[in-house]
Structure 1
């Protein structure tokens, strides 16, 4: 039996976000051009996801407390777990994540896995930058990545961001 998927949209400073959940877990967060049709039913996880993202954009939330179910390969899951460990207001490099996942030679694979992250912001792939401190690749675009990092810097005690 196929699981039911519920959809909601929130308007944020970086544009519309489409949230998809099942009854209990957040499945994806996607950048959307406009608000689309939302589901008639809103399970608690959908409401909680929207509420916590709004709090993040207001600057009052630095960590997310949501059940996540990102769909991906075993390696992608490993990368995303390591990305989730990067704290609000901090950055890491693709090389840092590659080393944590087993090999300094994996930077390209880490970049590809990061690009496939189905739950951006909550799995904070925007916090991963190039070893030279440059902002590279982001599904929502470099302007959104820059905005998210500057937002976190503004609401963080950390003043040592690499970018």
Structure 2
């Protein structure tokens, strides 16, 4: 499995390709020693990240695949429907999925999302507007949401950690 490392404004993204799909994008503080692989797909992924961080890409167009249960797959598909620059609450996500009693299970599935930014779980917030539950660190979630709001010309939203 080729693995590439991409420097973002909020850390190093470790991008894994498997069978011509991007299967994992993980954000971390430091790049591990050893170097970075290249492939046409990894290069395209990094190009799309360049565009995202430059504010010119709002939707990623990559072949992606995550390993997970059927329920997790449904949750991740729902995340892909959240528009750039918008947020929804975990409660709203559960209602949209016709599973209003499954808020905790949906939040847990969001936390298992292995495709950082590409599957935008950072756009899901608490019902009171707080930034809850983000495996990449709440400061990164705040940065990503503020970046998207700035690109969209949305006034500074009050984001609470």
- When normalised by structure 2's length, the TM-score is 0.91
Change (3 A) 1:72 1:160: farther
Does the 8 A contact of 1:91 with 1:162 survive in 2? no
Moved over 4 A (4+): 157-163
Look up the match of 1:137: 133
Residue 33 (1) aligns with residue 29 (2): yes
Query: How far off its partner does 1:87 sit?
Result: 0.8
Look up the match of 1:119: 115
Look up the match of 2:93: 97
Look up the match of 1:69: 65
Which of 18, 33, 55 aligns to 1:59? It is 55
Does the 8 A contact of 2:27 with 2:116 survive in 1? no
Look up the match of 1:84: 80
Structure 2: runs of 5 or more not aligned: none
* Cα RMSD for the two superposed structures: 1.7
Look up the match of 1:156: 152
Look up the match of 1:20: 16
Change (3 A) 1:13 1:156: same
- When normalised by structure 1's length, the TM-score is 0.90
Instruction: State the aligned residue count.
Output: 158
Distance 1:28 1:47 in 2: 15
Distance 1:159 1:89 in 2: 11
Does the 8 A contact of 2:132 with 2:138 survive in 1? yes
Distance 2:99 2:29 in 1: 37
